[in-house]
Amino acid sequence: MIFTPEKYAIPDEPMKPFIDADEIWGFLNKAKPTQERVREVIAKSLAKNRLTLEETAVLINADDPQLIEEIKNGARELKKKVYGNRIVLFAPLYIGNHCINNCKYCGFKASNKFAVRRTLTDDEIIKETEALEENGQKRLILVYGEHPRYNPDYIAHTVKLVYGVKKGNGEIRRVNINAAPLDIEGFRTVKKAGIGTYQVFQETYHPEAYKLFHPSGPKKDFNYRLTSLDRAQEAGVDDVGIGALFGLYDWRFEVMGLVRHTNHFEAVYDVGPHTISFPRIKDASELNINPQYEVSDEDFVRIIAILRLAVPYTGMILTARESHAVRTEVIHYGVSQIDGGTKLEIGAYSNSLNENQNLNKEQFKINDPRSLSEVIDELLENGFLPSFCTACYRKGRTGEHFMEFSVPGFIKRYCTPNAILTLAEYLEDYAKPEVVAKGWKVIEENKKELAGFVRLEELENRIERIKNGERDLYF
């Protein structure tokens, strides 16, 4: 693995802002996407090298349909070759939607008089978690508005509460967070509670566009948000998720921003972000957005394929904001994690009466309302291996995506066997009869590829132990 050194106008240092809009536009204005150059860049990525900003700009500027196809094929091949067919599943759990910011795209904004404000009580958090466990979920991301009541101690309290809920064979083994940026002390507090990834999306990497969409509240400070995950690193939270909300500014600039953010972490902390998210703006209560930068489905696929090639060892998250059809198509170009059975209305997992979406009670509209069971069924049909694995994080193997990508045999030694064991648990405890048969078939197919990497008899022995009632077995 080679990291190509790059010199930027602003040298990278911890806690120092690193985005220079002119520099990013400079790369975009200069990069020439000749056929030869585009192919060279794709080949570099397929040879397991992270791309530079200049090379990323070459892929971004490639507008020729034939070259776009080659970029998509490159991403498809990289995903298949390097990561195999696992897809990790999770669900979001909205804890509360009080908010003191006024992000123009969000239904929770303070100025939205129609928003129905609510914070789950401890009892409700327990009930929601039980309902999620009864569906088979093992990995959650807790989501909060920005409000003094959602302070680090409260976030830590809710994380511990969720970890403590055990319903039948159910338990949540990894709790991630999407919440406002904290100070270093705050990050230390939530780290102690045992969080997995801490996600903060920059929304837009363009400082002027950022100002426009964040007129008031603490979130209006672009640089405080930009450096938030540096503070996380300083506090020992080295597992962080970045993201851009596509539709606020030119998608080309945002892809460069995400790659620049990744490079910053590598330069300063020697580790990239754990995940990248690339949500597109969806309808929301009192949405107030000029559609000038709306991202088409065609460009959305390009974004995913280019990111996959540019940062090949970072997890990529695709959520139920996107429709079933879009998700089914774009998953091939590099996605590693999706949510299933998602409900955004606060308290909706344990209250099955609320089947219809009500925008005043949600942050935005979701477009893939399928249950976890339906999502898993389709993944199995399409030859994917659904996984609820949490092994690396619990074994202290940090930088797992990097290892998957760069350590030969890592996926066959750890990821596939662990995906199989967690799928076996799901099939035993939660799957509908029609899903059970498909699931065991996919397990058998994936087992065949593991000879020489794991002791197959040990894997089979563990599957037997799961059938006999043991849980949480992993490599």
User: Which chain residues interact with ligand SF4 by CB under 6 A?
Assistant: 99, 101, 103, 106, 108-109, 145-146, 219
Cα 114 from chain centre: 29
Name residue 51's amino acid. L
Nearer to ligand SAM, 100 or 456 (CB): 100
CB of 49 vs ligand SF4, minimal distance in Å: 35
- Stretches 75-83, 124-132, 161-169, 174-182: which one binds ligand SAM (CB under 6 A)? 174-182
Q: Which residues pair with 144 in a beta bridge?
A: 96
Interatomic CA distance for residues 234 and 470, integer angstroms: 39
| Range 68-107, binding ligand SAM (CB under 6 A) | 105-106
Nearer to ligand SF4, 85 or 112 (CB): 112
Nearest CA among 370, 400, 460, 390 for reference residue 424? 460
User: How many CB atoms within 10 Å of residue 30?
Assistant: 11
Residue 192 tokens, joined: 């102690």
| Range 228-247, binding ligand SAM (CB under 6 A) | 245
Interatomic CA distance for residues 85 and 90, integer angstroms: 17
Nearer to ligand SF4, 288 or 351 (CB): 288
CB of 243 vs ligand SAM, minimal distance in Å: 6
The 249-278 contact track toward ligand SAM, x by CB under 6 A, reads ------------------------------
Nearer to ligand SAM, 180 or 330 (CB): 180
User: How many CB atoms within 10 Å of residue 460?
Assistant: 11
The 350-389 contact track toward ligand SAM, x by CB under 6 A, reads -------------xx-------------------------
Cα 126 from chain centre: 24
Rule CB under 6 A: say whether 179 interacts with ligand SAM: yes
Nearer to ligand SF4, 285 or 446 (CB): 285
Nearest CA among 190, 176, 241, 202 for reference residue 401? 241
The 193-222 contact track toward ligand SAM, x by CB under 6 A, reads -------xx-x-------------------
Rounded to 5°, angle at Cα 337 from 80 and 82: 20
Nearer to ligand SF4, 179 or 454 (CB): 179
Nearer to ligand SAM, 258 or 419 (CB): 258
Rule CB under 6 A: say whether 158 interacts with ligand SAM: no
- Stretches 76-84, 178-186, 253-261, 425-433: which one binds ligand SAM (CB under 6 A)? 178-186
Question: Measured over all CA atoms, what is the biggest interatomic distance in the chain, rounded to whole angstroms?
Answer: 62
Rule CB under 6 A: say whether 178 interacts with ligand SAM: yes
Q: Of these partners, ligand SAM, ligand SF4, none, which one is at the site of residue 229 (CB under 5 to 8 Å by kind)?
A: none
Q: Of these partners, ligand SF4, ligand SAM, none, which one is at the site of residue 309 (CB under 5 to 8 Å by kind)?
A: none
CB of 285 vs ligand SAM, minimal distance in Å: 9
DSSP states along 263-282: HHHHHHHS---SEEE-PBP-
Nearer to ligand SAM, 158 or 422 (CB): 158
Number of residues this chain uses to bind ligand SAM (CB under 6 A): 20
CB of 94 vs ligand SF4, minimal distance in Å: 10
Rounded to 5°, angle at Cα 397 from 396 and 402: 150
Q: Quick one: angle between helices 297-310 and 251-269, nearest 10?
A: 20
Q: Is 37 helix (H, G, I), strand (E, B) or coil?
A: helix
Rule CB under 6 A: say whether 224 interacts with ligand SAM: no
Nearer to ligand SF4, 72 or 219 (CB): 219
Q: Of these partners, ligand SAM, ligand SF4, none, which one is at the site of residue 282 (CB under 5 to 8 Å by kind)?
A: ligand SAM
| Contact in structure between 201 and 229 (CB atoms under 8 Å) | no
Q: Which residues pair with 176 in a beta bridge?
A: 141
| Range 285-344, binding ligand SAM (CB under 6 A) | 321
Assign 3-class secondary structure to 109-170.
Answer: CCCCCCCCCCECCHHHHHHHHHHHHHHCCCEEEEEECCCCCCCHHHHHHHHHHHHCCEECCE
Rule CB under 6 A: say whether 282 interacts with ligand SAM: yes
Interatomic CA distance for residues 53 and 28, integer angstroms: 9
- Stretches 144-152, 323-331, 393-401, 435-443: which one binds ligand SAM (CB under 6 A)? 144-152
How many alpha carbons fall within 13 Å on the CB side of residue 35?
A: 4
Nearer to ligand SAM, 79 or 104 (CB): 104
Cα 75 from chain centre: 17
Which residues in this chain contact ligand SAM in the complex, by CB under 6 A? 105-106, 143-146, 178-180, 200-201, 203, 245, 279, 281-282, 284, 321, 363-364
